[in-house]
Amino acid sequence: MSVPPASCLSHKALICDVIISFIAIKSFFDLSHDHYVSIGWEYCADVTSHPIRIDRPGLVTGEYIYLCRLYKSVGAAPGRHKPGVEQQAPRLQRPPSSSMATTAIRLPDFKQSVKLKYVKLGYHYLITHGAYLLLAPLPGLVAAHLSTFTARDVAELWHNLQYNLVSVLVCTTLVVLVCTAYFLTRPRPVYLVDFACYKPDDERKCSRERFMNCTESLGTFTPENVEFQRKIIERSGLGEDTYLPEAVLNIPPNPSMANARKEAEMVMFGALDELFAKTGVKPKDIGILVVNCSLFNPTPSLSAMVVNRYKLRGNIVSYNLGGMGCSAGLISIDLAQDLLQVYPNTYAVVISTENITLNWYFGNDRSMLVSNCLFRMGGAAILLSNRRSARRRSKYQLVHTVRTHRGADDRCFGCVTQREDADGKTGVSLSKDLMAVAGEALKTNITTLGPLVLPMSEQLLFFATLVARKVLKRKVKPYIPDFKLAFEHFCIHAGGRAVLDELEKNLQLSDWHMEPSRMTLHRFGNTSSSSLWYELAYAEAKGRIKKGDRTWQIAFGSGFKCNSAVWTALRPVNPAMEKNFTNPWIDEIHRFPVPVPKVSAI
């Protein structure tokens, strides 16, 4: 049998493609598709005037050209399709023209061959842009209606307005008043002009081996607790290049108020010097200052030390936050945002740090020894502004802040506590309930944040699942919203490996999304409230930040608190431009990411 000319096949093949797609959609939605299969292939045989014999529903035979067309369209190989196994179309040999090849094939199970994530993505796009699709015909209808207006119609309309001049003036006045009230009362935008992370000198580096040598040489820890710290370090996810202050690395250590002040000045002033150099902003232009440090609160305060060093102006609004844990950095951002709504046309500086010198634990309470193994030296300075002119040179705009406090629950309140052990030695105790408490706080926080950031498609899916479980009493798994549709980047507080593992699992994040947090923990350790900024600096150094990208910063802290901040990138961040300044990653970013084994022996 001869093959039809190409000109004849072109439009008829298109019809076959449409029918195949129709069958696929019907089968995907669990409809009884045997009838559609039969009708579809009978129609293909009719429009092509070629014999295609239907052996039974779902099985067809035909000539070479139509088999090739089918294989190319649905990606199925002859024979039975094995669910979950991808198959490639075989090389088909053209049968002799004197006889017709008869080969039975079966339509694939589209429930197995179609990736549901693409169906979900299409649903997301449809819901997200549904308003635009519904409103798209409106301009055309208006234009069509206006095109029918004649000069006489326009004159008549003007004549009617003259007789209703009072109504027109009243409506115009109301519109002007409403617009004026809106522009006067709307929140001022808060821009993140730039930020800087402190990178200590190489003399402060503390490898894991050096940490263990210092621990053993102290003589204050029992052999069992020395081995306990070794196991914690081997499983912590920390690398060989974290930093500790001089007072802790000295043998013997010499923690004192003077050394603690020295560490605080080194970190805060180092980050601020870099920030002022990067932005060109003068210290006298700063109108708001917020400093947070949880465990070191001297008198005069840390904020007063900054005012004295940089000779800030006398009417500066300054705050010093203490005892608020690793989430205090985002609390400071939220406080600065509120202050920027009150003080127009100004700059705000936020400094986030933690002091190690006076908070190193020298006892044998294992709940307090964990903090020795995780916490390291670091700090960050952030410049915010509400000036309209600052937008063009700012990196990000603050979109949302959500704060969750679980302190009313006694179990949550006591899971992270600074206290004295049985021997009177002070340290920070971490409860065994920490992971459970963190999970509860995270659930509360994202429940509040979700409606603000998630696309409508995710909210509808969540609501439908909730109705099925609570109202219809169906045994349906709780729907976990896909936050990857709301954010491009995730900066999760690098509190420890276990915390990152749990959040990666619960939020269904990929290794790429977790990379900034894991690499920050590996390179710098847990720097407390400043860790979020080392993570954002990592994403910038990798060249990942594009204009319009949304970043979610989330941190946990004592009390117990879980806080979130959402930023939108106002411009792409070029890592090449960062070389002129000291992004903490820029000189070594080519080495990352590095594999971090579950257990790394010392």
Which of the residues 33, 81, 206, 489 is marked catalytic?
A: 489
Cα–Cα distance between 443 and 439 in angstroms, integer? 6
Identify the three-state secondary structure at position 543: coil
End-to-end CA distance of the chain: 76
Cα–Cα distance between 380 and 538 in angstroms, integer? 13
Q: Which of 524, 539, 536 is nearest to 354 (CA)?
A: 524
Q: Which of 293, 536, 270 is nearest to 381 (CA)?
A: 270
Q: Are 355 and 295 in contact (CB under 8 A)?
A: yes
Q: Are 446 and 515 in contact (CB under 8 A)?
A: no
Residue 56 burial (CB < 10 Å; 0-12/13-18/19+)?
exposed
- How distant is the alpha carbon of residue 583 from its chain centre? 21
Catalytic site includes residue 213? no
Catalytic site includes residue 50? no
Cα–Cα distance between 569 and 484 in angstroms, integer? 16
DSSP class of 300 = S
Cα–Cα distance between 370 and 415 in angstroms, integer? 13
Which of the residues 81, 493, 513, 522 is marked catalytic?
A: 493
Cα–Cα distance between 101 and 251 in angstroms, integer? 87
Q: Which of 83, 77, 40 is nearest to 58 (CA)?
A: 40
For 89, other C-beta atoms within 10 Å of its C-beta total: 15
Catalytic site includes residue 159? no
Q: Are 53 and 109 in contact (CB under 8 A)?
A: no
Cα–Cα distance between 333 and 383 in angstroms, integer? 10
Phi/psi of residue 252, each to 5°?
Answer: -80, 160
DSSP class of 425 = -
Which of the residues 206, 293, 326, 412 is marked catalytic?
A: 326
Strand 105-106 to 59-60 pairing: antiparallel
Q: Are 271 and 354 in contact (CB under 8 A)?
A: no
Identify the three-state secondary structure at position 229: helix
DSSP class of 299 = S
Residue 55 has, within 13 A of its CA and on its CB side, a CA count of 10
Which of the residues 33, 81, 405, 522 is marked catalytic?
A: 405
Catalytic site includes residue 489? yes
Q: Are 353 and 379 in contact (CB under 8 A)?
A: yes
Start-end of H helices in 148-298: 151-163, 165-185, 208-218, 223-235, 246-249, 257-279
Question: Residue 459: which H helix or E strand, with range?
Answer: helix 456-470
Cα–Cα distance between 448 and 12 in angstroms, integer? 54
Cα–Cα distance between 78 and 87 in angstroms, integer? 10
Contacts of 593 (CB under 8 A, 6+ apart): 515, 518, 519
Catalytic site includes residue 526? yes
Q: Which residues are catalytic?
A: 326, 405, 489, 493, 526
